[in-house]
């Protein structure tokens, strides 16, 4: 089976490194310099005291490939529209697996002409070291759920990778993505603003109080999620990823654009439409946007 993975960030490299041991994997990235590094070195995954290196193919254009059996899209939500034409041109019969944070991209995904679309929610911790190397910080699983259509070749991928890179089927993609969104909202903006690791959020009573207030604001917007995810679930994740630095914190530190729009911006729009009072979300959003603007010189 031939798999195309769009995006050479931490998640794209992690997927390529593990799935490349089992399938013919091609990474589609933006820069020729990353293509050269991947073709020369493969993908290396560091996990605890071990390392694996997997040979992969790499290119800057999906158009150069026409025989993929599956495409996995790992770019951030704000980059999706830039690859829309390529996803259509490569063939609308091709199943696509989308790996993004938040829920703001779902309507865009549904607008695509492809009949078989799958959403994914990643629980692994990963940090990109360079163009061809990623550090696997927390071994977990990838949740997947159908947006529409049939599983098709995704079932083969899940079956063959069960021992090395497991996938877990979920019946409701909205609940799956919202569960991950709750976690992102309660961790990412706070760590980006405070500069602390995930575990410090629950150790520090002042930070943790804000987490609890945020959780209640989220339940105002999504009351049906009560009982599906709890604040105790988030506390457990913070403890299990105690030393991890969130992706938003790393974006702030490296002066990159954050995912604040797809994590909080879309929620503030919903709160406005439904007349909900969510002061903590508003403050965190404005602070992250302000810091992001200063860092990006805008």
pLDDT band, very low/low/confident/very high, at 150 (cuts 50, 70, 90): very high
Task: List the domain range (segments joined by +) for residue 287.
Answer: 176-296
Q: Which of 155, 171, 187 is the last residue of a domain?
A: 171
CA 145 – CA 176 distance, rounded (Å):
8
Whether residue 173 is predicted with pLDDT greater than 60 in this model: the reply is yes
Across the range 157-178, mean pLDDT stands at 97
| One domain for residues 100 and 154 | yes
As a whole number, the mean pLDDT across the chain is 95
Structure tokens that stand for 273 in this block? 């439409």
Q: Which of 112, 141, 171 is the last residue of a domain?
A: 171
CA 75 – CA 44 distance, rounded (Å):
19
Q: Is 280 strand, coil or helix? A: helix
3-state helix, strand, coil in the chain (%, to 5): 50, 20, 30
| One domain for residues 287 and 151 | no
- Count structural domains, the chain: 2
Cα-based torsion angle of the residue sequence 87, 88, 91, 93 in order, rounded to the nearest 10 degrees: 100
Closest Cα partner for 121 from 76, 167, 165, 77? 167
| One domain for residues 112 and 186 | no
pLDDT at 138: 77
63 or 101: which leads in pLDDT: 101
Q: Which of 171, 203, 227 is the last residue of a domain?
A: 171
CATH classification at residue 241: 1.10.1040.10
Secondary structure letter of residue 258 according to DSSP: -
The model's pTM: 0.92
Catalytic residue ranges:
180
pLDDT digits (tens, 9 = 90+) for 92-136: 999 999 999 999 899 999 999 999 999 999 999 888 999 999 999
pLDDT digits (tens, 9 = 90+) for 68-95: 999 999 999 999 999 999 999 988 999 9
pLDDT at 46: 96
Secondary structure letter of residue 224 according to DSSP: G
């Amino acid at each position: 089976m031939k798999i195309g993975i769009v995006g050479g960030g931490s998640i794209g490299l992690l997927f390529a490194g593990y799935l490349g041991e089992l399938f013919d994997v091609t990474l589609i990235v933006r820069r020729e310099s990353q293509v050269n590094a991947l073709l020369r070195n493969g993908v290396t995954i560091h996990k605890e005291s071990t390392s694996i290196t997997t040979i992969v193919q790499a290119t800057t254009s999906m158009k150069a490939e026409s025989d993929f059996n599956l495409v996995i899209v790992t770019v951030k939500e704000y980059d999706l529209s830039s690859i829309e034409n390529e996803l259509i041109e490569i063939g609308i019969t091709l199943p696509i697996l989308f790996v993004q944070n938040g829920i703001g991209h779902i309507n865009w995904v549904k607008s695509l002409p492809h009949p078989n679309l799958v959403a994914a929610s990643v629980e692994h911790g990963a940090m990109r070291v360079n163009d061809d190397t990623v550090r696997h910080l927390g071994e977990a699983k990838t949740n997947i759920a159908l947006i529409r259509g049939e599983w098709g070749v995704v079932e083969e991928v899940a079956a063959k990778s069960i021992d090395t890179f497991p996938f877990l089927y979920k019946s409701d993609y909205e609940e799956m993505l919202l569960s991950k969104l709750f976690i992102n909202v309660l961790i990412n903006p706070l760590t980006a603003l405070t500069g602390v690791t995930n575990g410090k959020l629950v150790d520090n009573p002042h930070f943790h109080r804000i987490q609890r207030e945020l959780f209640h604001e989220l339940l105002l917007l999504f009351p049906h999620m009560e009982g599906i995810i709890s604040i105790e679930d988030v506390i457990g994740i913070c403890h299990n990823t105690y030393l991890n630095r969130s992706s938003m914190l790393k974006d702030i530190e490296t002066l990159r654009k954050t995912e604040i729009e797809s994590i909080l911006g879309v929620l503030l729009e919903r709160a406005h439409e439904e007349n909900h009072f969510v002061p903590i979300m508003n403050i965190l959003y404005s602070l992250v946007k302000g810091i992001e603007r200063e860092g990006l010189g805008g």
